[in-house]
Amino acid sequence: MKIEFNIDYKAVFGEELTLNIFDTGKGDKPRQYRMSTMNGTCWSGNIQFSSVDFPFLKYYYSVVSNGRVDRQEWLIVPHLLELNAKKGENYTVYDRWNDIPEDSYLYTSAFTDCVNRCHLSALPEQSYAKTVRVKVHAPQLRAYERLVVVGAGSYFGNWNIVKSIPMIEEEYNNWSVDLNAEILGTGDIEFKFVAVDDRGGISPMWETGMNRTLVLPELRSGDVIVYEEDQAFFAIYNRKLAGTLVPVFSLRSRTSFGVGDFGDLKKIITFLAQTHQRVLQILPVNDTTTTHTWTD
């Protein structure tokens, strides 16, 4: 299986891009691959992989100068490429550089595990002879919302939400969908992402901005082309949660002495739940009983 990675990054003289692929199941140290460019902006690299050994790839890009890493992408959510196409022989990936976003707090475990609990799923295996995959980040969605894609043409439902194509949340706030390129054909496609409410009876929420367009090239049997789109933004207000900020040493109950008894945390959490609060923030706790230093 051949995989071609492409990304736009305007480098200066002496800089080059490297592709860093995590060795799945064998530790966190990534394999590095040098990328090439003809104009200092459009970078590409080709590698060979087996979908049997690697059902998916996680990777990121970095900028190297004089053998030193000058900068790299945000690593909280690295790129993910699932090799789920049964007939896929040649993957062509068009990525976008991921810096830390302004709404990075939406990727913290407080949101992904609690407030907006995510239910991740792998892309299902599919047997398309030719595949177009569309990926997008949509961190604003609430726990009861999911993403669909709708657009021009019968395949995309002719802008009818009822006929929209559901997407899969394969990573935190990262949604993907595989499309049958034999039906799509070549040329321009026009579409938008829409957030739908699983509770029902509520109008769908369309992403802001202009319609998205892609120009599909001529694909051969076994080709899979992957497009990573810019983040989808919705008219959703920033999250505000009621909560309490308290240092542990200021807590005191009838069963403690008010000197930092961790057992009081259970009681304060119960109190927060009874008063319908969502967040408990405590000041840093320095327990120096292991090494007797601040590193504990």
CATH 3.90.1150.10 applies to domain 2-138+173-184+216-228 = no
Q: Is the pLDDT of residue 25 over 70?
A: no
CA distance 124 to 246: 45
Q: Are strands 42-48 and 56-65 parallel, antiparallel or unpaired?
A: unpaired
Closest CA to 219 of 95, 80, 85: 85
Where along the chain do its domains lie? 2-138+173-184+216-228, 243-282
Q: Mean pLDDT throughout 77-91?
A: 95
Tens-place pLDDT, residues 166-189: 999 999 999 999 999 999 988 999
- Res 294: pLDDT: 60
- For the chain, give the mean pLDDT: 92
Q: Is 88 exposed, middle or buried (0-12, 13-18, 19+ CB in 10 A)?
A: buried
Q: Is the pLDDT of residue 286 over 70?
A: no
Tens-place pLDDT, residues 136-164: 999 999 999 999 999 999 999 999 999 99
